[in-house]
Amino acid sequence: MRGVRWLLLKDLQILRRSPLQAVLLVAYPILIAVLVGFAISRGPEDPRVAFLNEVPQNTRIDVGGQELPKANVREQICERVECVFVHSREEARAKVESGDVLAALILPADLVDKINSLSTLTPGVPEVEVLVNEENAVKAELVDDRITSLLAQANLRIARRIGSEGSRYLGLIVDGGQFHVLGETIPILGLRASARILQAVLPALPRSLRPALEEVNEFASQARDNLDVAKPLIDRLAQPIEVDKVVVGGASPPLEIFAIAVAATLTLAFVVVLLVAGSLALEREENAFPRLTRGLVSGGGLLAEKVLLGIAVGLAVTLLMLFGMRIFVPLELGRVWLWLLAILFAGAALAAAGAALGAAAREVRAVSLLAFMVTLPIAFLSLVPSGAVSPAVFDAIRYLTALFPFKPGLEAITAALDAAGPGLGGPLLHLTILAVAYAAIARLALRRFATV
Amino acid sequence: MPPVEAKDVVKRFGSREALRGVSLKAAAGELVAVIGPNGAGKTTLLSILAGIAKPDEGQVNSDGGAVGWIPQQAALYRRLTVEENLLLFARLEGHPNPRASVEEMLGLTGLAERRGEIVARLSGGNQQRINIAIGLLSRPAVLLLDEPSVGLDPRQRARLWEFVSGLAGRGTTVIFSTHDIQEAERYGGRVLVLADGESLFDGSAGELREAVRREAPEDADRDFETAFVAYLRHRGH
Ligand SMILES: Nc1ncnc2c1ncn2[C@@H]1O[C@H](COP(=O)(O)OP(=O)(O)OP(=O)(O)O)[C@@H](O)[C@H]1O
Ligand SMILES: [Mg+2]
């Protein structure tokens, strides 16, 4: 292991000696990372959404005795997303789970009744149901955005109506009057009248205190009751229709965090794989390999040196990038140890994979190209959300990307950056297995290809 | 037991037999020249002796002492300086005082004043000097040199052989390959002739002249190189 130190020093000298390469090695992945970040935050144009309308036909929204013009929900929604009409909840759920659609929007049968109840004294909570599969933050954010904008529009229309109803009740409390409920008519004194009575009874307070106070008491209780009724009504003004979002699968952190994790993992993957594969191939290109492995350093020692080199440089570049990102997005500094852990494990697995590539190559150029050709598609495949492709293809992608450290690395770094979403343990275990497997492959490849 | 010994070594690359039963024994302090046409198997033999390649058949023994190896293709880091290369390998060899051995090698190669230059910018011959110097850093019991003098100017050649003869004089076994018949004759106490993976001759330089004269009498009066070529032709190569 004594030799490992000197070889590490040598590789850093070579790296420093090749400023163009060093810059490319760092600048290129960061450029790709930024581009990907942009691309990801845009999202695809027309997401597919399953649409189930359980509301009986010809039900109209009726607020305060006035019918709203027929709300053409279907047209409104399907203008913004590609609607896939389904006929049952089961069908909607299955489509979401399989990833065939990004989300399902369900308008329950009692939706319009509940909307109509908003302007009564027993307002219900109108709900639309949204089924989403949040295994992917891009998707989750996308769905959230669409639903929020659709609901905001619907809510605005209803809120205008309810607003005028609400103010009628408040007027009753302030000015007093007749209040009709359940076929009965109750006289309401109102705040103004109460004040007047209080003023009138004040001079004669000691003696005739009792009846006046009783009246005031009564009003107070009525007013409280009325306000109790008005309160939920007024609450509903803010958002008449509530979304009952059911997460069918997965959980995900906010999109900025996810984009940063993608950028960091891309950077780490390119720096580590290219550096390790390239510097291992350089040993062969310079014919130094046989000279080294004749007693100066073992094959395992040489691999360990390259993996260390990859981890060290990858860690430095990725941390630098993350700290740079903190300018734009708040990242919890308290989690920096988790960042280190995730980068270390991901770096080790990526370095081992790079070593496996480098061990099989004789030339730096060839292996750099190879590293790009392997890493880039794997990275992009790892970002494909379910629903963007058919379920069978998605399964194939899932198995393929599990074989390369990019996806688990991304999961680990995402988990390290933000507490939302799945934990760090699974990805770290996955990365450990990949690191060991690739190290073994690299060792074999070195024996197989390096001896004459 | 001799410092290095190969017995009936066979090496195949696919269907091509690079060595077909070659044997070689060298005593301490002996200088052995390996000659033969391109593709004869010289490099293959030396790399098997160096332990880089494994023979398919036969045995190779060395008596424990380290085997130094100077490859035909320069094995050094072209992006490091002359000094960084020497220092790296001196450290990897575990020299007690790596800097002192670096100085010694810089003196031997005459590159002391170019120590800070990137190797890639040196001429081919100067790169070969460093390649040799790196191989000489370890003081092995057996030193294998694969065409060491290629690319060296006459003065540097003389320096190289002076140094190598000095090592042999102190007991190092030296085995070198060359295309220079004169060099083989002059420095090789023994000469091994390989052609197409076969060992055609193994003996002293004087004995080789005898053998050549016997095999190709009509060319025996020409210069030795021409006679040697005729000898190979007579042996079917
Ligand atoms: N790695 C290899 N793969 C396949 N064939 C090889 C390999 N190395 C050598 N050979 C073949 O083995 C034979 C002997 O090659 P070798 O390099 O030992 O010859 P040589 O005597 O050193 O030649 P030269 O004088 O040109 O250096 C040649 O036919 C060569 O093509
Ligand atoms: Mg050769």
Q: What is the CATH number of the domain that holds A71?
A: 3.40.1710.10
Distance B113 CA to ligand 2 centre (A): 31
Mean pLDDT, rounded, of chain B: 90
> Does A287 contact B at CB distance below 8 Å?
yes
User: Ligand 1: does its nearest atom lie under 6 Å from the Cβ of B16?
Assistant: yes
Domain range spanning residue A277?
2-41+254-449
Whether the CB of B28 is below 8 Å from some CB of chain A: the reply is: no
Residue A298 domain-assigned?
A: yes
In chain A, residues with a C-beta closer than 8 Å to the C-beta of B51 are 294
Identify whether residues A11 and A90 lie together within a single domain: no
Same-domain status, A149 and A280 = no
**Of A100, A127, A153, which residue constitutes the final position of a domain?**
A153
Tell me whether B80 touches chain A (CB under 8 Å): yes
Homologous superfamily of B4-65+141-234: P-loop containing nucleotide triphosphate hydrolases (3.40.50.300)
Q: Where is mean pLDDT largest: A84-88, A157-161, B101-105?
A: B101-105
Domain termination residue (choose one: A138, A153, A168) = A153
Q: Which residue of B has its CA nearest to A297?
A: B92
How far is C-alpha A287 from the chain's CA centre? 49
Instruction: Provide the H-helix boundaries in B173-204.
Output: 181-187
Distance CA B192, CA B114 (A): 37
A28 is a domain residue: yes
For residues A24 and A54, state if they share a domain: no
In a shared domain, residues A149 and A271: no
Is the residue at A64 inside a domain?
Answer: yes
A294 CB near a chain B CB, below 8 Å?
Answer: yes
Q: Are residues A146 and A265 in the same domain?
A: no
Tell me whether residues A10 and B66 touch, CB distance under 8 A: no
CB-ligand 1 contact for B13 (6 Å cutoff): yes
Question: Which amino acid belongs to residue A181?
Answer: V
Residue A245 lies in a domain: no
User: Which listed ligand is nearest to B40 at the C-alpha?
Assistant: 1
Interface ipTM above 0.90 = no
Amino acid at A132: V
A271/A302 same-domain check = yes
- Other C-beta atoms lying within 10 Å of the C-beta of residue A402: 14
CA atoms lying within 13 Å on the CB side of residue A11? 26
- Give the closest residue (by CA) to ligand 1 atom 3: B13
Mean pLDDT across A146-153: 69
Nearest CA in chain A to B80: A14
The reply to whether A63 and A29 lie within a common domain is no
Predicted pLDDT at A352: 97
> Is residue A63 assigned to a domain?
yes
For ligand 1, atom 29, the nearest C-alpha belongs to B39
Contact with chain B for residue A22, Cβ under 8 A: no
Residues of A whose CB is below 8 A from B71: 287, 290-291
B15 lines ligand 1 (CB under 6 A): no
Last residue of a domain, one of A136, A153, A170: A153
| Domains of chain A: total | 2
Backbone angles phi, psi at A169, to 5 degrees: -65, -40
Is A244 inside a domain boundary? no
* Pair A314, A353 in one domain: yes
Q: Clarify whether residues A74 and A16 are in a common domain.
A: no
B11-45 tens-digit pLDDT: 999 999 999 999 999 999 999 999 999 999 999 99
More confident residue, B49 or A163: B49
What is the reported pTM? 0.69
Q: Is residue A382 part of a domain?
A: yes
Sequence-separated (6 or more) residues with CB below 8 Å from residue B236: none
Out of B9, B11, B16, B22, give the residue to mutate to test ligand 1, the one with the largest number of ligand atoms within 8 Å of its CB: B16
A425-433 contact pairs (CB < 8 A, 24+): A427/A342, A427/A345, A428/A341, A428/A342, A428/A345, A430/A402, A431/A345, A431/A346, A431/A348, A431/A349, A431/A405, A432/A345, A432/A349
- State the average pLDDT over residues A165-186: 67
Position A342 confidence tier, pLDDT thresholds 50, 70, 90: very high
CB-CB under 8 Å, B93 with A286: no
Indicate whether A56 and A127 sit together in one domain. Answer: yes
